[in-house]
A and B are shown apart, each in its own frame.
Chain A
Amino acid sequence: ETGVTQSPTHLIKTRGQQVTLRCSSQSGHNTVSWYQQALGQGPQFIFQYYREEENGRGNFPPRFSGLQFPNYSSELNVNALELDDSALYLCASSLRLALGNEQFFGPGTRLTVL
């Protein structure tokens, strides 16, 4: 069973640019969530996709957008990058939305905005 993978591992962008981060869910999982983790803080929920539809969103502006594909892989897109977008971006997949279901996290993508 393949775990959650993310690409790229590290990325450096400049302010104003756009970035796309990718996530491959664990096999059979139909739900993916994205989190942003600033240095020294806990992860913050960005949004969640369930069966290719956005299912919930945290307190992030519209320039953060996402997609989930039929094979349940996912993308996080960030437009007009700002310095404060520098963070570790984590995706997590799960089988269903049941309260007790655990989420499986990938290793993250470290984004640096200069």
Chain B
Amino acid sequence: DAKTTQPNSMESNEEEPVHLPCNHSTISGTDYIHWYRQLPSQGPEYVIHGLTSNVNNRMASLAIAEDRKSSTLILHRATLRDAAVYYCIPISSGSARQLTFGSGTQLTVLP
């Protein structure tokens, strides 16, 4: 599995954009990049995923570097409910395709 590096923690003000970076320099060409987040006292929830091109959904945007060695999750307007641990997870083409969680980034949103 590809190794990931994320900041331990980040802070954002409410209603401002947040850019959460992730380095995954050992990613293989067929690995998808998934992002999950875990709110306090809850199981993780899917946020977004991509392979090569940038992706948007109702929750966030995912910007993937051209060399695929890094990606950035973008929350366009942070709310207090977005306070969570965010995990960047490359998923390989192995049979189980399990999620390999790292330490993630603890996002704090300030009112």
List A residues at the B interface (Cβ < 8 Å).
4, 33, 35, 41-45, 48, 55-58, 90, 92, 97, 99-100, 102-108
Complex Cα distance, B89 from A44, in Å, reads 12
20 A-B pairs within 8 Å (CB atoms) are namely A33-B96, A35-B101, A41-B103, A42-B104, A43-B99, A43-B101, A45-B99, A45-B100, A56-B95, A56-B96, A56-B98, A92-B43, A92-B44, A99-B32, A99-B93, A99-B97, A100-B49, A102-B49, A105-B43, A108-B43
Q: Which residues of B contact A33 (CB under 8 A)?
A: 96, 98-99
B24 within 8 A of partner (CB): no
Query: Number of contacts between A and B (CB, 8 Å)?
Result: 62
Residues from chain B with Cβ under 8 Å of A42 in the complex: 85, 87, 101-104
CA distance A57 to B102 in the complex (A): 18
**Bound complex: CA A40 to CA B41 (Å):** 12
CB-based contact A55/B44 at 8 Å = no
* A residues near B30, Cβ cutoff 8 Å: 99
Query: Which residues of the partner chain A approach B45 to less than 8 Å between Cβ atoms?
Result: 105
